[in-house]
A = this chain, B = another copy of it.
Amino acid sequence: MTNTPKPYAQIPMQAVGPFKLIGDVETDDLMVPMATYETPLWPSVARGARVTAHAGGIRVTVIDERMTRSILLEAPHAGIARQRLQQIQSRHADLQAVVSSSSRFAQLIDTHFQVIGNLIYLRLEFKTGDASGHNMATNAADKLIPFLLGQYPDLSYVSISANYCTDKKVSAVNGILGRGKYVVCETTIPRKLCVRFLKTTPEAIVDLHIKKDLIGSIVSGGLRTANAHVANMLLAFYLATGQDAANIVEGSQAINHIETTPDGDLYFSTTLPNLIVGTVGNGKGLDFVLENLEGLGCTAQDVEPGSNARRLACIAGATALCGELSLLAAQTNPGELMQAHLKLERQAANVPTESHD
């Protein structure tokens, strides 16, 4: 049996918007490309974009950024592990010199560790410019390991990657110590707009959020997760912009915080601590990706390294917020979710409808 597939998988793609952003990104006419087989996602996110634009926009704030790689070394015993870690942490300049030899962009910003028996899990944390930084971090780690083993011959190599990084796997460490861009997206929707655009009330959304996003996630045995379907929006955005979309695993660990304001309006926020995105590197050279990054304003040449990627992360986060807002609103009304799906299938039209969580 032979099987020569097409050289490309063609994922349906559409731009939705316009988005209005304020804070770290200021724009009011942004169309966001999303590639997905789940095409009801488009009108759903578009509805969120529409109502937030009317409401004054989505405020985006980058709290932190870093890319990590944890190496795994072994010591004769924990006492020596402790001593070597103290030495290593006191030699930041020496480590940075090694890192600099591996890339002109990589900067070692911090290290964290765990000692388990005689094992050392050393988490190296870097700034990586506009790259998401997987390769840059691995390359730096690859240079640091022989350096460390040369300096401390009583340590030995176990692995260049020890799952304390951690990449594309569920963890708490990425949220607590940081990996990727940490973005907070916030908006306040006046009650009137909530009713008009979303067919529901601030109280109904808050009530659902508490019982589904918060308690429901806790009951499910979730981990640092409190949202409806952030993974859907991130997947579509990552595919359209050439990202390594397997990073939606940690990206999905986003936390909504939603409440009514004293004035009876809706404060709606989505916090995404692990947006692992870049504007250069693997996948970014494809024509449609370049075009999409340009359309998003993320290919500026005259800006400091990292600012294009931070802008991209903010847009990814805002896109996630819009999908969250729209789906939660729909689920407050019995039957709306399924009706929207059926309607869409019948009409194949771009009507407001909802994707699943």
Contacts and interface: CB of A to CB of B under 8 A. Distances in A.
Interface of A: 1-15, 17, 23-24, 29-31, 33, 35, 37-39, 59, 61, 63, 70, 72, 77-79, 81-82, 112, 114-119, 121, 134-135, 138-139, 142, 145-146, 157-177, 182, 184, 186, 207-208, 210-229, 231-232, 234-235, 239-240, 242-246, 248-249, 252-253, 255, 257, 259, 267, 269, 271, 273, 282-283, 286, 288-289, 291-292, 295-297, 331-332, 334-335, 337-338, 341, 356-357
B5 A242 contact: no
Contacts of A217: 163, 166, 169, 171, 218
A271 B102 CA distance: 35
Contacts of A182: 115
Nearest first, the 9 A-B pairs at minimum CB distance are A172-B221, A163-B216, A37-B283, A117-B269, A172-B172, A3-B295, A9-B35, A117-B257, A78-B184
Given A11-B8, A160-B337, A231-B169, A244 B33 contact: no
B33 A61 contact: no
Nearest to A149: B334
14 contacts: A3-B292, A7-B13, A11-B239, A114-B176, A116-B269, A138-B356, A145-B334, A164-B216, A166-B222, A214-B215, A214-B218, A215-B255, A221-B224, A232-B246
B5 A295 contact: yes
Contacts of A168: 229, 231-232, 252, 357
Contacts of A332: 159
A159 B331 contact: yes
A37 B242 contact: yes
Given A3-B15, A7-B13, 15 more contacts: A8-B10, A59-B78, A61-B115, A72-B211, A81-B184, A161-B331, A163-B213, A164-B219, A167-B356, A169-B222, A170-B223, A172-B224, A176-B221, A219-B224, A246-B248
